[in-house]
Amino acid sequence: MLECIVTKFGGSSLANDEQFRKVRSILELEPTRRYLVPSAPGKRFGDDDKVTDLLYQCHSLAAGGKPFAEPFARIRDRYLSIAQGLHLKVDIAAKLDEVEQGIAGGKGKAWCASRGEYLCAILMADYLGWKFVDAADGIVFHEDGTLDDERTQEKLSAVLKDGQSAVVPGFYGAKENGEVCTFSRGGSDITGALVARAVNADVYENWTDVSGFLMADPRVIDGPAEISSITYKELRELSHMGASVLHEDAMFPVHKAGIPTNIRNTNKPYHPGTMISKNAPNEISVPTITGIAGHKGYSVISVEKNMMNSEVGFGRKVLQVLENYGVSFEHMPTGIDSMCVVVSSPALEPHRVEILREIEHLVEGSGSVSVSDNMSIIATVGRGMVHNCGTAARLFGAMSRARINVRMIDQGSSELSIIVGVNDSDFEATIHAIYHEFVG
């Protein structure tokens, strides 16, 4: 039996009083849901505002000496209407005044942005009758603004150790000197994962407005199948290539602690969503592929040099040039006297001339360097491929039948993914070919 579930609700799940009601009924369905991490209220309809965006706007107006009454009135309205709709007793108007004064008084950008989650958590704690625990008392940031993981684990488990049901606002924490810091956008997912680890939860439920992950981008494949179970490693490969539902940094704390994450849909509370776990245990049958994700816009730097394979350290020198300009590489297929380095084109662009000049210098007189752009990278990911013959044959067979030219192939030794590089103009056709081959 599950004993403790940590829930995180995203902005669209908290956009108005009706959404708050749905959240409470989800908690009532399962009494072991004992901790809740809210985002700030998000959009209620297509072109509505997210409270966090309004707060950033207020801060930047105030910092420029301009009035911010108009966007702040919209923020005030959002919280007052939730409080009124739910007949809450908490004096949220007074809290809103404090926030307004803080912004006017020159509080920093992170403090201003964090108030969205802070106010939302105060409302939610009052609505549920749960304890409010300020994230500034449990989530610790280093002086340089990065998370202090160890101190966070220590402090957060200490503030939650009484076991009382609690609401902990997402997205922010504080340095040891009390200065508020935020994660990057979407960072409430990270707070949820840190709370799950601190209380040693059985499951971390991340409630949003979709029923989990899809096997492919719905903008490319019409109505792609849902992924019911995925491992953290597979998800990492897919999210790196652009499949996004969860903040990338939210996976590490729970993955390390062996806590599964369940992506759920607030608007379809009985849908099981996607379960992300370390090993996807107890599987009766594993699909060959779990998902496909890809990106356009890569450049391939090809370097040829006579006797490259016998020159110790040549590869390092090439990569050193990229490192010096802060460009990270994605893939590096090599031949005997040649190597290719695949980088994102927007990352290469600002230093393209200098990087090429320096690599040319390394091969002077005995080789050549060239770049070709407009390459897409597509990753086909699946734990079902491991030790399974024929997956690559099927994948390349499908591509060849669709008359797609493969410009690059990379399969890691983990056998968890097959990565292909194709022309940007073949991006959609490649995803179609692979999807229909494996999923139908």
Return the H-helix or E-strand segment holding 27: helix 17-29
Least distance to ligand ASP, CB of residue 83, Å = 19
What is the maximum span of the chain, computed from C-alpha positions, in angstroms? 79
Angle 427-438/391-401 helices, nearest 10 degrees?
130
Least distance to ligand ASP, CB of residue 25, Å = 22
- Amino acid 325 reads Y
Residue 116 or 294 with smaller CB distance to ligand ASP: 116
Residue 45 or 270 with smaller CB distance to ligand ASP: 45
Least distance to ligand ASP, CB of residue 54, Å = 10
Give the integer Cα–Cα distance in Å for 149 and 142. Answer: 9
Give the integer Cα–Cα distance in Å for 212 and 199. Answer: 24
Tokens of 353: 């001339």
Residue 127 or 172 with smaller CB distance to ligand ASP: 172
Tokens of 265: 């849909």
Residue 11 or 253 with smaller CB distance to ligand ASP: 11
Hey, is 99 helix, strand or coil?
helix
Least distance to ligand ASP, CB of residue 40, Å = 4
Q: Which residues form the interface with ligand ASP (CB under 6 A)?
A: 11, 39-40, 50, 52, 116, 170-171, 185-188
Give the integer Cα–Cα distance in Å for 374 and 416. Answer: 26
Least distance to ligand ASP, CB of residue 242, Å = 18
Q: b/e for 317-330, b at 16 or more Cβ within 10 A?
A: ebbebbeeeebebb
Q: Is 131 left (phi over 0), alpha (psi -120 to 50) or beta?
A: beta
Give the integer Cα–Cα distance in Å for 124 and 132. Answer: 9
Residue 59 or 305 with smaller CB distance to ligand ASP: 59
Residue 204 or 427 with smaller CB distance to ligand ASP: 204
Residue 191 or 391 with smaller CB distance to ligand ASP: 191
Do 51 and 43 meet the contact criterion of CB atoms below 8 Å apart?
A: no
- Amino acid 348 reads L
Least distance to ligand ASP, CB of residue 147, Å = 14
Least distance to ligand ASP, CB of residue 122, Å = 15
